[in-house]
Structure 1
Amino acid sequence: MTEYVRVCSLAEVPDEGALGVEIGSTPVAVVRTGGEVFAMSDICSHAEVNLSEGEVEDGTIECWLHGSCFDVRTGKPTNPPATRPVATYSVKIEGEDVLVALSTPEAGES
């Protein structure tokens, strides 16, 4: 059975933005775009900086350091210099709580 962990309230996640959280020692970016919430590794696969500090637009998050963008649904990079995907995680919304499951990474995991 998949174990979901409460990571934040829905109100804490900015519209068209991201919030960096940690589940244990795993950094996770909780991203809201197009009215949906997604979770992915908060570490860029290219430069190992926090993706949650980047800009979110049209279903992608941009790494603030070198400009690589990642699809928030798949974790796949959409432009260089990043070439490797980042992990994505299952998300559930229960009331006003955002829950994430680390135990079942989605296809984007490298």
Structure 2
Amino acid sequence: MVMVKVIEVAKLPEKAPVPVAVGTKALLVVKDGDKIYVADGICPHGRWLLSLGTYRDGHLTCKGHGTVYNLETGEGELKGYKYYIRTYEAVIKDGAVYVEI
């Protein structure tokens, strides 16, 4: 696996999902205070861009069908069914967010 630069921290708005492409991989980045979440950017349930969703208290709700994902664990739920997105540990270096892919 390789550490790749995802985005500059200064470009991240507070508590708003930001779509980022790393090669052919679609990711989602959310800054909440000192915490930065990085996760897969496509909902496995309906293939919606998760950056179109809404963020609140460590959880992201997909705009498509309302699946709610915990950005710490990647676990999501919709009407009792479990869905999962991959989450990545964000490493901050020289003012930028890096993840291992």
Global fold match (TM > 0.5)? yes
1:36: Cα distance to partner?
0.4
Residue 95 of structure 2 corresponds to which residue in structure 1? 96
Residue 78 of structure 2 corresponds to which residue in structure 1? 80
Residue 37 of structure 1 corresponds to which residue in structure 2? 36
TM-score by length of 1: 0.82
Q: Would the aligned equivalents of 1:15 and 1:35 in 2 still touch at CA under 8 Å?
A: no
Residue 6 of structure 2 corresponds to which residue in structure 1? 7
Instruction: Kindly report the root-mean-square deviation, in angstroms, between the aligned alpha carbons of the 2 structures.
Output: 1.5
Find runs of 4+ consecutive structure 1 residues off by over 4 angstroms: none
1:63: Cα distance to partner?
0.4
Residue 46 of structure 1 corresponds to which residue in structure 2? 45
- Unpaired runs of 5+ residues, structure 2, are none
- Unpaired runs of 5+ residues, structure 1, are 103-110
Residue 106 of structure 1 corresponds to which residue in structure 2? none
1:34: Cα distance to partner?
4.5
Larger strand proportion of the pair: 2
Q: Which amino acid aligns with 1:37?
A: I
| Change beyond 3 A, Cα 1:4–1:35 | same
TM-score by length of 2: 0.89
Q: Would the aligned equivalents of 1:18 and 1:52 in 2 still touch at CA under 8 Å?
A: yes
Report the count of equivalent residues. 100
